[in-house]
Structure 1
Amino acid sequence: MKAHLFVNHHIRVRVISILLIISFVFIMSYILLFQQLKQEHQAEIDKKEHFTDMAATSVDDFLISHKVVLQRLASLDSVKQERRTEITQTLQDIALAQSKATLFWVANEKGTVVGKYPDTKADQNILDRDYFKEAMKGKTTVSGPYKGRITGKEVIIITVPYYRDNKVVGLVGMSVPLSELQNILDNVMEDQPGYAALVNYEDGQVLSHPELEQYRKTYSFEDSPLYQEIRVKKLTNGYFENDQEQNVHSFITLKEAPWVVILVQPLEEFNFAINQQRERNFTILILLILFLVIITHYLLILRDMENAEKNKQTEKLALVGELAAGIAHEIRNPLTSIKGFAQLIYEKRGQDLPPFYYETILEELDRIDLIVGEMVVLAKPAPETKRKVDLDKVLQDSVNLMSYQANLKEVQLVLNVEPGTLYIEGVVGQLKQVFINLIKNAIEAIENKGTVTIQARRQGEEVIITVEDTGPGMDKDVIKKLGTPFFSTKEKGTGLGLTITYRIIQNHKGKISVQSKKGVGTKFTISWSVSRS
C-alpha cells in the first residue's frame, strides 16, 4: 500500500514537474517570440524609411544639380546685359548637357522673355506666374506642376534670379517634365516592394505616381488620413499604417522643395513576411510543448541563435547590394553633365570657352569621387550582349583617357599595336574598363617618372595584350593576392579595381597573368581568342 502511494506521489511529482516545464517553456517562448516579431516588424519599418530617405536624397540631388547650373547661368554677363543671341547660344549649350530639362529661358523684370531654348515658338510673357513673383523677391524656387506652354506636358519649374547693381532684374529658369521625377523614384524602388510617389506638402497635389492620371481621377490625396496626419501634426518624416486603405506609408519631406516623398506598400504584402515568421514561431512553440524536455528547448534556442547570425550576415550582404543599386542614380546625373560638357568642349575645340564648362566638369568629378570614396560598390554588373570589338581602337581610346593623369606624374605612355585585325567578342565598355584599370595602376605604381608600355599582337588564334610599367615591382606574396577583394597596395585603395578587372576578363573567356620583379617593374599579360565572325 505504501509502495503504491509512493508510486502515485512520484507520478504526481513528475506530472507537476512536466506541467511546470510546459508552463515555463510556453511563457518564455511566447515572450521571446513576441519580442522577435516586434523586432522584425520594426526592421521592416526601418527598411522602408531607409529607402524613403534614399529616394528623397535622390530627388534633392537632382534639384540641386539643376539649381547650380541656373546659378552659374545667372552670373553670366550676357544674361545680366540681356544679350539675346549670346543667351540663346549659351542655353543651347547647357541644354545638351542637361538633357532632363525640356526648356530653358531668361526673362527680365517685366516678364518678357529675352532668350530661350528651344526657340521654336513665340515668346510668352510670364509676369502672371507665381514662380516669377517669388524669383523677383530674390528667391530660388522649385514649383509646379504647370502645363508647359510650349510642350503641353506637365512640368516643374526651377528658377533663379539674376542681379544688376545688387538689384533683381530678371530670372533664369528651366522646365523639367514630371516624368523625370518618377524615373528617379523608380530607379530607387527597382526590385523593391510597393511604389514611390511625390506630393506637394502645401496643397496635397500629387506630382509623381506610377499611374498618375488614373490616380488623380480616382483618388483625392488631400482628403486622405495620411495627408491629414502630415498637415495637422506638421510632420517632416515618419511611418503611417492605414487599415482603412490597407496600406502602409513611409514619408519624408524634401530639403530643396515643399514636397514629400511617400513610399506605399499594401499592408497584406508588408505583413506577409511577418506572418510567415509568426507561423513558424508557433510551430516551434508547439514542438517544444510536445517534446516536453528542456534539452530540446535548449537545442532549439541554439538553432535560433545560429539562424539569427546567418540572417544577420545575409542582411549585411543584402544591404550592401541595395546601397550599390541606389548609388547608380546618384552618379548618373554628374556623368550626364560631364558627358555633355565634354562633347561641347570637343565640338568647340580651338574656340574660347566659358570657364563654367570646366568648373562644372571638375565639380561633378569631385562629386563622383566623393561618392565612390565613401562606399564600396559590390553590385553585380548587368549582363550585356557581346559584339565584335576592335581592340586597336579600344586601346587607343583607353590611352587617350589616361594621358592626362600620366602627364601629371611625368609618365610616358607607349602604345604598340601590331598591324592587322585584332578583333575579339566582347563588350566595349567593359574591355575599356579593363585597360583603364591596368594603365591607371601602372601609372600610380611609378613613383618618379617612368614609362608604361602597352603592346598588342596576334599569336596564332589568340590576341595578346601586355601592360608593362617601370615601377618598383612586387614580391610573390603580393602577386598571389592580386584580384582579391579589399586587398590593395595603395593607401586609399579598395582592391576592387583588379577584382572587377579579373571578373571582366573571366567573363570574356580570357586569361591574365602577372610577372613582376622588385626594382624592375611589373607586366600584366592578357590573352583572348580571336573573333571568328
Structure 2
Amino acid sequence: MKKLITSVNILIVISVILLLILGYYEIKKYNVNVKTHKKSLVAQGELSLKVLEGAPKYFGSIRSISVVQLAEELAKNENILGIIIFTEDEVIYKTTNIKNIDIKIDSKKSFYETDKEIVINRLLNPEDMIDPKLKNKLSSNFAPLYYATVVLSKSEFNHFVSSAQKDIFIIFISIIFVILLLIFIRIMIKRYEIMSMELTRSKQMEEIANFANILAHEIKNPLSSIQGFSNYVYDNIKDEELKDYMDRLLDELDRLKLIVDDFNQFGRPIDIKRSNFSIKKLIDRCVDLVKYDAEKKNLTFEITGEDFVISADQDKILQVLLNLFINAIRYSKQSSKIEIKLNDKMIKIINQNDNKEIDKEKLFTPFYTTSSKGSGLGLAICKKIMTLHGFAIFVDKIDPFVIVLDFNERR
C-alpha cells in the first residue's frame, strides 16, 4: 500500500512539473503565433498601400477611375474591410464595402488599432520626392497632400486568438483534472489503508478480548480458592518468618487478582449510557480520589482552561480519567506538577515523565507495559472506551509526557 501511495505521489509531482513545462511552452508558442499572425495581417495592408502608392505613376492621377478600380480590387481581400483615399479637406473615395463603417480618419497617425480593426495611413503624393518638412509648408494650391487608408479586419485574427486561448485553457484544465484525479485517488488509497488498518486492529482487539475473557474466567475461580486458603493459613500460622512469606504471597495474589479483573473488563462488552455533564466537575472528583497517592510523592495538580459539557457515559469517562491520573502519578518525578489543560473540548494531561522506556507507538496496545505491576490493559481499555464514544485519545509527547483526550465526536 505504501508503494502504491509513493507511486501516486510521484505521478502527482510529474504532472505538476509537466503542467509548468507545458504551460511555459504553450504560452510562448501562443505569443509567437499571435505576433506572427498580426504581422501577416499588417503586411497585407502595407502591401495594398504600396500598390496604391505607385498607381498614380501608371494612371496619371490619383483621381483616375483606374485607381478607384484598383482600390476596389484590393479591397476584395477578406482581411481588408475597405480603403479610403482622401486629402486634408475631403474624402475622395471610399470602397463600397466600407461606406457603412464609421472610421475616424486621421492623417497624422500612420498606424492605430481598435478591438475590431487595424488602420494604416500613408501619403500618396505624386511629388513624394519632395522633402516631407517642405511639403507641410507648401500651399495646398501647389500640391494637395493625398492619403490612403487601409482598414484591416481583425475578425479572423480575433478568432485565431480566441481559439488559441481555448486550446491553452483546455490543456490546462485537462492536466489540472488529471492532477486532481490523482490526488483524489491518493486520498481514497490512504482512506482505504486507514480503514484496512482499523479493521485489522478491530479483529485483533476482538480476538484479544475473547482470549482475555476466557483467560479471566479460567483463572478467577482457582485464584479465589487459592486466596481463601492462603488467608486461612495466614490467620492460623504462628511462625513469624512464615507469616512474612505469606504476606508477600497474599500481595502477589492481590496483584494477580487485579490483572484478572483487567482481563475480565477488557474482554467484556461495554454498554454506553450517555448523559450531559461538566468535565471539570468530573476532573475535580478524580483528583480528589487520587489525592492520597499524589501526596505520597509530593505531587500537585494544576487545572487550567474553560469548562465544557460532554455527552457520554460519566462512569466510563471517570474510569478513563482515573486510569490516566494514576499513570501520571506513578511515572511523575518526585515533587513535580501534573497539569490538566482544558481547551476546545479537549483535555491535555501533562507530567514530567520519569520513565524513559516508553514506546509511544505501542502505548495503547493490549498487554504492553513498562511496569512490573501492570497488566498492560489500562490504556487499551481507555482507548476502547473513548473509541466506543466516538472520541479520540492519543499521546502527543513523551518528555514531558502529554496525553490528549479529544471529545469532539468523529461519528
Please classify the TM superposition score into its range, dividing by the shorter chain length: 0.3 to 0.5
Structure whose residues are more often helix by fraction: 2
